[in-house]
């Protein structure tokens, strides 16, 4: 998500999180550092609430940054629920 906002790079994040890609503790820690750096870069662009109304291709149609963030949080919540043993994943995309 953050890469999409900052560079319009909408790669499937799951290809980076395959078990063979993150096969040991060092690789997992490196991945988490990259995620944190990406998050900080993305949020550094947001200085006021008005910035959330800006539109960006996401990936094929224009959406506001607020919409992208809300959708991403909903998906993350569904995955967290699934990981905690909740119901099946709800998809909002």
All structural domains of the chain with their residue ranges? 2-83
pLDDT of residue 59: 72
pLDDT, one tens digit per residue, over 27-75 is 889 988 988 888 888 888 889 999 999 998 877 789 998 998 898 889 8
Task: Centre a 10 Å sphere on the Cβ of residue 63 and count the other Cβ atoms it contains.
Answer: 17
As given in the structure block, the two tokens for residue 22 are: 């993150």
Tell me, yes or no, if the pTM score tops 0.85. Answer: no
Give, rounded to a whole angstrom, the gap between the first and last alpha carbons of the chain. Answer: 13
Helical (H) or strand (E) element with 64? strand 62-64
Torsion angle, alpha carbons of 74, 76, 77, 81, to 10 = 140
């Amino acid at each position: 998500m953050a890469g999409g906002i900052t560079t319009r790079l909408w790669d499937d994040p799951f290809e980076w999180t395959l078990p063979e890609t993150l096969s040991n503790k060092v690789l997992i820690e490196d991945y988490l550092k990259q995620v944190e750096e990406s998050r900080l870069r993305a949020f550094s662009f947001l200085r006021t609430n008005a910035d959330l109304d800006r539109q960006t291709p996401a990936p094929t149609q224009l959406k506001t940054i607020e919409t992208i963030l809300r959708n991403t949080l909903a998906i993350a919540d569904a995955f967290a629920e699934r990981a905690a043993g909740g119901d099946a994943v709800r998809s909002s995309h």
